[in-house]
Amino acid sequence: MSNKKLYSNAIRNWPEEDRPREKLLKYGEHTLSNAELIAILIRIGTPGKSAVDIARELLQKFKTLRSLSSMDITEFRQITGLKDAKITQIKAAVELGRRLMSEEKAFIGTVKKSSDVAHFLMPLMRDLKRECFKLLLLDKRNSITNILDIEKGSVDKVSPSIREILHVAIKFQAPGLIIVHNHPSGDIEPSDADKSLTRALVIAASSMELRVFDHIIVGENQHFSFTDKGLIEEYEMLAVSKI
């Protein structure tokens, strides 16, 4: 078999107006399909498959762009023609898109309600396959000054250290804080461990004149707020009774 026949479906052999890169430059990125956009990241195909063919196989396997963001590297490697360099380019591009979504939902000024935080962090956390724990530090005006990753756990469990959380808050001289973690299952109901952690954190923070404003659990396009459910207030009252 000749090389010419083997690579006959290579993108470089297509009419120029059909090539993804040339098409983007001439007509704009909005005119390209998802497969064509991914093909630009892949750049070159393999014998018998163009970059667009590989991109279509990716989409057929993972169904949606959101799914691409949550898949492990090992799952990408199952696609013939995807080596580590191409995989990292795709993962980086999808992550940039996810962060762009978060930036678009960002709020300016003080945090007024749980949905302010949930809508901001949901694009970054809802598709993660493992639990991730974030700490948001607030100033005296209740504006977010820092967002820090505290702990990453297993698929269904994360165990952040209360001592570490309070140490970070004190280090940055933050009088208030909000804790946020995701449930990979999509179910936003807090576990007994979630409640125990929050209760212990509120009590410990109160003894150090720090305030826990909320603990938010991110799920599939929804969230659970300990404050909205009255639990933070309940724990604060418990903290006062222990003084």
Distance CA 222, CA 25 (A): 38
Going along the chain from its start, the domains and CATH numbers come out as 3-102 (no CATH), 107-241 (3.40.140.10)
Per the confidence metrics, is the pTM higher than 0.85?
Answer: no
At residue 40, the pLDDT reads 87
pLDDT at 47 over 70: yes
Percentage of the chain exceeding pLDDT 90: 35
What pLDDT, in 10s, does the model give residues 227-239?
999 999 999 999 8
pLDDT at 157 over 70: no
H runs (alpha helix) in the chain: 3-6, 20-27, 34-42, 51-62, 65-70, 73-76, 84-104, 114-125, 162-171, 192-207, 231-241
Which amino acid belongs to residue 175? P
How sure is the predictor about 9, in pLDDT bands with cuts at 50, 70 and 90? Answer: low
Burial class of residue 106 (count of CB atoms within 10 Å of its CB; 0-12, 13-18, 19+): exposed
Q: CA quadruple 43, 46, 49, 54: dihedral positive or negative?
A: negative
User: What is the reported pLDDT for 213?
Assistant: 96
Residues 6+ apart with CB under 8 A from 234: none
Instruction: State the pLDDT at residue 171.
Output: 92
Contact 181, 218 (CB under 8 A): yes
Banded model confidence at residue 5, pLDDT cuts 50, 70, 90: very low
Mean pLDDT of 177-192: 94
Lowest model confidence (mean pLDDT) among 91-95, 116-120, 138-142, 143-147: 91-95
Give the pLDDT mean for 118-129: 85
pLDDT at 108: 60
Please report how the helices 20-27 and 34-42 are oriented relative to each other, as an axis angle in degrees rounded to 10: 120
Residue 178 three-state SS: strand
Q: What distance in Å separates the CA atoms of residue 143 and residue 151, rounded to the nearest whole number?
A: 23
Whether pLDDT at 107 is above 70:
no
pLDDT at 155 over 60: no
Q: What is the pLDDT of residue 14?
A: 77
What was the pLDDT predicted at 103? 60
What SS3 state is found at 207?
A: helix
